[in-house]
Structure formats: structure tokens, C-alpha cells
Structure 1
């Protein structure tokens, strides 16, 4: 019962993160108009937010060695809720920017601590459950996008109401760290080489993921004579397909194994991008974005799961004490989360720069790079995995 309640609360945390992010990004043009921000200035504000999200993740890493990830998650959710209210109700540009800065820090803390909670629960369950957690994020993103579109004609101040959601979720029954002092975790060397291999795969995923959500609507708008009300279908189709696969991902990974799922997904993802790049109409491009979402959906959750298994096992397969293992895994997950922001920066910047003349070329680059996940797939199931995750987390 305790695990199931913590699982529901953590899923709510993921869903809240996706909901807040998409409800804000769909209103970015309104923020830009309200504060008379040029494209360059808005880009700099968003860059600041991403960099501060990285800072928030580093803060979570530092505190995770001695603090409960449940406490970190509650703190991050409160920061997000307050920051959303500040940036939506801001009386001046300076206050808006300050709100965005606070949101960035909260975003990083919540990103790290939700995944800390998720990998701790997966360890308790002894089977893959991270894909469904990330599916909850995607579902939240879809809801957030719908909220943004539904309130498009309303004052931006109305969006401040979504800031109440993380404040409510912060009271959820998250999984507590019920062990004693954990300072020993800081003295144990972490095998970063295999973790970095998994991290590279996550960078490739977030490069594609951010590229689609940032440039997908512009691709439909600039490449075809797409009706303005339909340009958002690129991101929506991607999110819906991704969410469906993530929700089914727990069972798929248990049945087919991590390596096969990743390799097939990379090929499907590259195929989806090929459909986008060579699409003759915007409708075909939307189908391509959906195929892409289905292909790469489980890369991020499986990356966090693999990093946790590697971090949680000592050399020779010997397990740490529960206290040390949990603190060690929490700290590693927070640092591993930095790969998220590296991929996000590459996706938002590289796709736009390479495709500045033609976004077909911009999407052709990730079409090739996403295939790099194929040789990296075995790094997701190192030999130590059986000692920590059980046979159901093995390649199958």
C-alpha cells in the first residue's frame, strides 16, 4: 500500500511537471508580446531558464547525499508553483525574468527528484516502471498544451492558476528515505564510464525531443501552407504517440528486453524523421512526427533506470546497504539529469542553426544522429544489472 501510494504521488509529480511546462510554452508568444521581447531577448531568457534548471539539478545532487528526495521534490514543487504565479502576474519585465529564473531552478530540482523517487520505487518493485512515470509527464504535457490553447484568448494572468497545482501535489505521500545517516555514499567511487554511455543516448533523445517541440510547428508553418490552427499538431502528435508507448512501456520492456526495444525504437525514430524530412504535405509530416514519438518514447526513462542500476551496485555485483545505495543513486540521478539539458540545448539550437535556410535539413541531422542509440543500447544492461534489478530488468 505504501509503495502504491508513493507511486501515485510520484506520477502526479511527473504529470505536474509536464503540465506546467507545456502550459507556459504554449503562451510564450503572449509573454513575448506583453513584455515587448525580441526573438533574441526571448531566446536569452529561455537559455537562462535552461541553464538555471541545470543549477537546480546540481543543487539537488548536492543535497541528495544527506537529504530525503521526498523533501527535495516538495521543495521544488513549491518553488515552481510560486515562480509560475510570479512570472504570470509580474508587473514589470524584471519581475517576469526573475519568475522565469525561479522556475528554472525549481524545474531542475523537480526533474531530478521525481526521477530519484521513480528509480527508488522501481528498485522496490523489481521490474520496469519508469516508462509509465514518463508517460505521466507526457500526459501532463498534453493537458498543459490543451490548457494553453483553451486560454489563448484570455489574459496571461489566468495562467497563474496552474501554479496552484504543484502546491497541492507537494503534499503527496512520496517515498521517504527511511534509513539512517548516508554520508558514506560520498566516499564510494561511481563507475561513470558506463553511466556516460547511457547519458550520450539520453542526449540524443533530448536533442530530438526538444527539436520537435521547438521547431516542429515552425517546420509545418514555413515548409507548407499549413493553416495556422494546425501547426501545433506536430508537437501534439509527437506527444500523444510518445505517451501511448510510454504507458505501455513497462510491459513491453519486461517482455522484449531493453536492448531490442532501444534498437528497434532508434530505427523507427529515424524512419519517422525521414518521413518528416521528405514529406510532400503537412499531413504526412504530422504522421512522421507521431512515428518519431512512438520510436524514441522510452529512451529517457530507460536511461534513468540504467543509470540507477549502475550506480546502485558495487564492483563484483555486491550490493551496498540500503542507506548508502539510496543516497548514492539519488546523487547520481541528479547529476545524470544534466544530460537532459545538454540534449535540450543541442535540440533547440542545432536544429534551428542547421535548418536556418531549410528546416528539412535541420531535421535531417537528428535523423542520422538518433541511430547512434543502436550501438549504445548494450550499455543499458551491464552485468551488474542482474544483481540490482533482478532478471526482469535484463535484456530478455
Structure 2
């Protein structure tokens, strides 16, 4: 089997993940009203989902080591499909929380196993592919958000989006995975390369601090901090997502041409400049440009980091990727929670120095990525 043969099915898994995640987070306001719950309860549900995702990542590693990452990915997609149907149909808070927890487990499992499969396909194809896989995730997430918006505009129930996402996950689970055939990573003797895991994990952590901070607080800052009109406030996140998609569409070619380290350094520099611009220039155009620059950083850094993780020790790549994936959720929590604790209103712009500091701290580690993974990461 070749990497090219499995490329469409693995790409579909990334797309299903993005579509489903966008669908469920954008229907939360409707469920908040339907279940009569407060913002605090919504925050606790999201926190529980994030913790469940970490558990799902660990479960994906265990399944992948014993039966292969293809089966781990199929199981996680199936769990998400069941959870999405449950979330759409269950009418009370405890059962909805159970469905959301199951979704979180599936979310973490797909995050880890899709990266395992993506790295294996990339290795067999002999070329960089992870950026394009992540571009599929981003494009599908945009499609999921637009679907919910269209349903609401037509005064249709947004839960239709959850049924659509469940159907997509079920369909993708039937495609079949595992480009390594019957090869399993059963040789788990010896310790994992923890110094390399910490370095690559730090890059993932910083990227998701940026991502979560912009996703959670960009609209709030434009509205409450800069007094932008309602029609303008979503533009910061829209510019961010457009930049993420652009970075992911081009990062594979850039890495193939120049290596991981130079491209990662450029991504970190763009993120530093973008976050600093938001913090230093309290103007709507400056903030939107800054969020776009941050998108270039997160868009490129995530696929570079997971690609590097898979190349540290190829015979243990499933375990290493699942472990590195845990840094994702730590970064997402930090980026979502800490800016709001640091400041509010106009002063919220200073909170965007938090992702800048994270990027500054990992800057020395970026220079070590190619040394971890071989000549120029190619």
C-alpha cells in the first residue's frame, strides 16, 4: 500500500474532526437556552470536554500500540458519531454532559490518531503532507460554522448540524485506515525520548495558547475593548482563520524547500509580531492585522510540530504523537482562561502579551527541531 492510496481517507478524518468540532461549539448557545443553563455551566462543560479529550488521546495511544492507529482512529470517530447524536437528542443536562464527555474522548482520540495516520501517510508518500491535512480541518471547520449560521438564518434547528456531523463521522469511519498494513508498534521497550517530546510539546503548547486566546477573546476584545460595532467584531477571528488556512496550504512546500526550523522560526516571529501589535496598538485595524499574523503562526506551527514528533523515532511515532498531543489541551486551557483573569475591557489588549511570552520562551527550542529529526526535517 502506498501513502497516496490512503491520503483521501486520512484527509477525510481531519475534515470530519474540523466539521464536527465547529458544529458542536457553534450550537452551544442554542443548547444553553434549551437546557436553561448559565455561562458558568457552559464553561464547566467545555472544561470537562477538554479533560475528556486528554483521556481520549491516552486511549488512542493504547489502542494504536496494540491494534494499530487505524483502529484507534476508527473507534474515536465512532465515539464522536454516537456522542453527536446523543447531544442532539438528549433533553436534560446530566445526559447532555455524558454525551459531551463521550464527544471529548472521541475528540482527543481523533486528534491523536489522525496525526499518527497523517505522519505514516506522509512517511510512505515521501513528501510533506501534514499542513494540507490540517488545511482540510480548517476548511471543514469553516464549513461547519457556516452550516450552523445558515440553519439559524433559515430559522431551522441548529441540531441538524449535529446529525450531519454524526453522519460525516460515521461515513469516514467506514473508509478504512492504517497505511502501515499489519505493522503494529508493539516494541515499547525502553523509555520514550522525553527531551524531544518536551521540546516538540512546548511548540504545540505555545501554538494552542495562541489559537485559544484568539478564538476565545478576539471578538470580546474588539467589542468591549475597542468598541467596534457588531458587524466588525467577528472580523478579527475571521482574519485569523483565513491566515491559518493560508499557512496550512503553503507550509508543506515551505518545509520541503527550507526545512522545519527556518519555517517554524518565521511562524513564531509572525506570532510574536501579531500579538505584540494587538497589545501595543489599541485600534481595530491594528488588532485585526495582529490576529491575522497570529494565525500564520498557529497555522504553520501545529503541523510542523506534529510532523517533527513523528520523525523523532519513527518506530515509536504513535506513542510520541499521542504524548505530544496532550500539550494541545494544556495550551488550549491556558489560552482560554488566563487572558480573562489577567485583564478585561480595554485593558484586555495587554492579555495578548501572554501568547507572545509563550512564543518568546519557545523560540530557543525551535532551533533544535531539525537536530531532533535529522537533516532539515525533509
TM-score normalised by the shorter chain: which range applies? over 0.9
Q: Of residues 344, 357, 367 in structure 2, which corresponds to 1:378?
A: 367
Q: Of residues 169, 174, 193 in structure 2, which corresponds to 1:171?
A: 174
Give per-residue Cα distances to partners, 1:322-368, cap 9 Å, x unaligned: xxx2xx21122112110111111111111221123531121122123
1:182-331 mapped onto 2 (5 Å cutoff): 182-183=185-186, 185-312=187-314, 325=315, 328-331=316-319
1:47-196 mapped onto 2 (5 Å cutoff): 47-152=47-152, 153-161=155-163, 162-179=165-182, 182-183=185-186, 185-196=187-198
Classify 1:83/1:229 alpha carbon distance in 2 versus 1 (closer, same or farther; 3 Å): farther
Classify 1:127/1:210 alpha carbon distance in 2 versus 1 (closer, same or farther; 3 Å): same
Classify 1:112/1:310 alpha carbon distance in 2 versus 1 (closer, same or farther; 3 Å): same
**How far does residue 148 in structure 1 lie from its aligned partner after superposition?**
2.3
Classify the secondary structure of the residue corresponding to 2:368: helix
TM-score by length of structure 2 reads 0.93
Q: Is the 8 A contact 2:207 2:297 kept in 1?
A: no
1:4 aligned partner: 4
Where structure 1 has 5 or more consecutive residues not aligned to the other structure, the ranges are: 313-324
**How far does residue 176 in structure 1 lie from its aligned partner after superposition?**
4.0
TM-score by length of structure 1 reads 0.89
1:339 aligned partner: 327
Classify the secondary structure of the residue corresponding to 2:66: coil
Of 1-10 and 60-69, more deviation after overlay is shown by 1-10
Does residue 355 (structure 1) correspond to residue 343 (structure 2)? The answer is yes
Of 174-183 and 351-360, more deviation after overlay is shown by 174-183
Classify the secondary structure of the residue corresponding to 2:156: coil
Superposition CA RMSD, Å? 1.8
In 2, Cα distance between equivalents of 1:39 and 1:86: 21
**How far does residue 277 in structure 1 lie from its aligned partner after superposition?**
2.2
Give per-residue Cα distances to partners, 1:60-119, cap 9 Å, x unaligned: 111211112111111111111111111122221122111111100100111111000011
In 1, Cα distance between equivalents of 2:227 and 2:149: 21
In 2, Cα distance between equivalents of 1:277 and 1:150: 34
In 2, Cα distance between equivalents of 1:149 and 1:78: 26
Does residue 44 (structure 1) correspond to residue 44 (structure 2)? The answer is yes
In 1, Cα distance between equivalents of 2:354 and 2:185: 44
